[in-house]
Amino acid sequence: MPNAAVTPSSTVDPTSEEASGSSSGVEYDPMDPVLDESPYEVWRAMRDQQPVYFNPRRNFWALSRYEDVAAALKDTTRFSSAHGNVLELMSPEPVDSGMMILNDPPSHTRLRRLVSRAFTLRRTAALEEDVRAICRELLDALDPGPGGGEVDLMQEYAAQIPSRVISRLLGVPGEDRERIRLLIDECFHLDEEHGFVNDVALTAMGELGTYLDRRLKHLAEEPGDDLLSALTGAGLTRRETIDFAMLLVMAGTETVGRLLGWAALLLDEHPDQRADLVADPSLIPQAVEEVLRFEGPSPVQARFTTEDVTLHDVTIPARSIVLLLTSSAGRDERQYGPDAGVFDIHREQRHHVSFGYGVHFCLGASLARLESRIALEELLARFPSWTVDRDRSVRAHTSTVRGWSRLLVRL
Ligand code: HEM
């Protein structure tokens, strides 16, 4: 385990009952597939009894209250992203990456500023018609016709949209798109034994990197109106451009797909709210925010402490891995009131940290919102109701992304 190499230099004995929470019996492990099915009660127990939690077996700390998570996300001086932001991939030394998500200021500031010149709101907004066409084409293909029928809404719709959109965003030419879409899918291959760090995924990432490198060489001769050309024009080196394009793929594909899966399930479980959206599609953007708060697809952001941090009378030693539980924050009664555990698209307080917070706030949030809004607009316009077969549907388990890999739905 890479994180096993990270040794906390203790000021509090992290294996003590007080720090580990063993006295209260709270046990949290984001890699536990059984717990991942329903972590809500454990998150609540952590928020109430162990707001600074330590897991001695996996050697990580965790913050679960909205206020603490938001403060730590903003505090890049003490909670560094430079050692990784995924539990399984944490490194005791800073990693050398052109990916902004793995950089702290000031190198993060430079990368984000340059990238923002090319990845603009205008470029995102310009994708609206492409996204709508993609959604309609997918719905045409899966439509079982007047008699109805069963489809896998994850595989046939939700998971298909983001990889197609990213490939449009990157300006992948039409003849390469299907190959690139399949490569992107393979980047997310999950192996029972090795999770998401497996040969299929690593090979696909290598091939995608090679493709991007070749494409950038071509664009250097003949720049186009696409994002990759704009990134080069903005002053990024070729390696930084490739790293950024890979980051877009890694951060912007699985997350959007899982969000749409959660939306389909939650709306089926709350048919009155689904009917409200059919009657008034202008409510869809706020429904997307409520899905993000209630079932964030990216529930855990890892950090590495650069110094001792004392919170709620517990000291997290320097050089510790700390998991910031953004999805637990989304359920925090202290922030959302006693009905925090209720899904309600009409609720007043919807601000959440499911897109992160502070300097690393999701760069693709506008694109994620645009894709989700259009995907739901088109789905609800075509199928005003559906029934999810939850028992036969299948979850995808990783420590970083929560959601469904197959969602069997009767239309
Ligand atoms: C529902 C969908 C999405 C969710 C829930 C999500 C969530 C997040 C979160 C929580 C972070 C902060 C990570 C951290 O603090 O360590 C983040 C960062 C980021 N996201 Fe997203 N994301 C989504 C979609 C997208 C899309 C569509 C793109 C781009 C195509 C994207 C690109 C990025 C990038 C580049 C960063 C790094 C920003 C930085 O380090 O400054 N994301 N996202």
pLDDT tens, position by position, 262-303 = 999 999 999 999 999 999 999 999 999 999 999 999 999 999
Is the CB–ligand 1 distance for residue 340 below 6 Å? no
Instruction: Categorize the per-residue pLDDT at 181 as very low, low, confident or very high, splitting at 50, 70 and 90.
Output: confident
Residue closest via CA to ligand 1's atom 16 equals 301
**In 3D, which of 158, 170, 246 has the Cα closest to residue 204?**
246
Give the phi and the psi of residue 147 in degrees, each rounded to 5: -75, -10
Our answer on whether the CB atom of 98 is closer than 6 Å to any ligand 1 atom is no
Asked whether the predicted pLDDT for residue 188 surpasses 70, the reply is yes
Provide the β-strand partners of residue 395. Answer: 404
pLDDT at 349: 76
- Average pLDDT value for residue range 29-50: 94
206-257 per-position pLDDT tens digit: 999 999 999 999 998 999 889 999 998 898 888 899 999 999 998 999 999 9
Check if 85 has its Cβ closer than 6 Å to any atom of ligand 1: yes
pLDDT exceeds cutoff 90 at 195:
no
Tell how far the Cα of 279 is from the centroid of ligand 1, in angstroms: 31
Other beta carbons within 10 angstroms of residue 112's beta carbon come to: 18
Residue nearest ligand 1's atom 21 by CA: 362
Q: Which of 320, 353, 403 is nearest to 39 (CA)?
A: 403
User: Is residue 24 very low, low, confident or very high in pLDDT (cuts 50, 70, 90)?
Assistant: low
Residue 128, pLDDT above cutoff 50 = yes
Location of structure tokens 């899918």: 185
Q: Is the CB of 103 under 6 A from ligand 1?
A: no
2-410 CATH fold: Cytochrome p450 (1.10.630)
234 CA to centre of ligand 1 in angstroms: 21
307-334 residue pLDDT tens: 999 999 999 999 999 999 999 999 999 9
Least confident of 88-97, 184-193, 367-376: 184-193
Q: How many angstroms does the Cα of residue 55 sit away from the middle of ligand 1?
A: 26
The lowest-confidence range among 7-16, 131-140, 380-389 is 7-16
DSSP 317: P
For ligand 1, the distance from its centroid to the CA atom of residue 28, given in whole angstroms, is 24
pLDDT value at residue 185: 85
Task: Round to whole Å and give the CA distance between 323 and 320.
Answer: 10
For residue 252, the CA-to-ligand 1 centroid distance in Å is 7
| DSSP one-letter string for 237-281 | -HHHHHHHHHHHHHHHSHHHHHHHHHHHHHHHH-HHHHHHHHH-G
The residue extents of the domains of the chain are 2-410
Q: pLDDT at residue 23 above 70?
A: no
Residues 6+ apart with CB under 8 A from 336: 66, 293, 330, 347, 349
Q: Is 247 a pocket residue for ligand 1 (Cβ < 6 Å)?
A: yes
Residue 350: pLDDT band (50, 70, 90) is confident
> DSSP readout, 87-118?
GGG--SS----S-GGG--TTHHHHHHHHHHHH
Task: Round to the nearest angstrom and report the end-to-end CA distance of the chain.
Answer: 44
